[in-house]
Amino acid sequence: DDASTPSHTQRLFSAIGHPDKEMHEIAGANHYYSGPDQRGTLREAVTFPSDPGAFTDEQIKTVLEEVRLPNLVNRLGEEENWSMTLSVGEQQRIAIARALLNKPHWLFRGAAPSALDEETERHVYNLVTERLAQSAIVSIAHRPSVAAYHRRRLAIVPELQQVQSVSLPPAE
């Protein structure tokens, strides 16, 4: 799934073994949850957590086309269990569409972008970095290619009870 839950933050914080660690909440920061249960209309699935009426059909259709889901633009009113109807790659792109519409301050991408081919991954990350330039983007991924879209890498090493931070060169 491509979830962005508060539990991600808590698990990352818990993994840091330093005795002087502190967690600070940033007042006014927002986040969103793009969890796996996507029942209801496609409009609701794409606009979550916002009210489905917060965006025009044109805005929703445009973002679906931008994340390469043109086959869904005429299905906004259809009710389905979208987590069962859509492929994992389509669900990951729906999650990106949500982020592009909702513009969160923090975007946590779990299992990112495990089901996307390299070209779609590149396209989606370029969209995210262009359109969410003011957002902090955290990708939890096993693919080395994801590093190209980030300026910093954190590696959690549980057996050493530490987090290793590495600055990355800018993507070419």
- 135 phi and psi angles, rounded to 5 deg: -95, 145
Q: Give the model confidence (pLDDT) of 115-165 as tens digits.
A: 778 888 888 888 988 998 888 777 776 666 666 666 666 777 777 777 777
Q: Give the model confidence (pLDDT) of 47-82 as tens digits.
A: 988 899 999 999 999 999 999 999 999 999 999 988
Mean pLDDT, range 87-100, rounded to an integer: 89
Give the tokens for residue 7: 């539990």
pTM of the predicted structure, to 2 decimals? 0.69
Per DSSP (E only), the strands in 2-159 are 39-41, 79-81, 106-110, 136-140, 152-157
Please report which confidence band the pLDDT of residue 102 belongs to, taking 50, 70 and 90 as the band edges. very high
Nearest partner of 125 among 143, 90, 150, judged by Cα: 150
Mean pLDDT, range 6-24, rounded to an integer: 61
* Separation between Cα atoms, residue 149 and residue 142, nearest integer Å: 14
Q: Confirm if 99 and 112 have CB atoms less than 8 A apart.
A: no
List CB contacts of 56: < 8 A, sequence separation 6 or more.
none
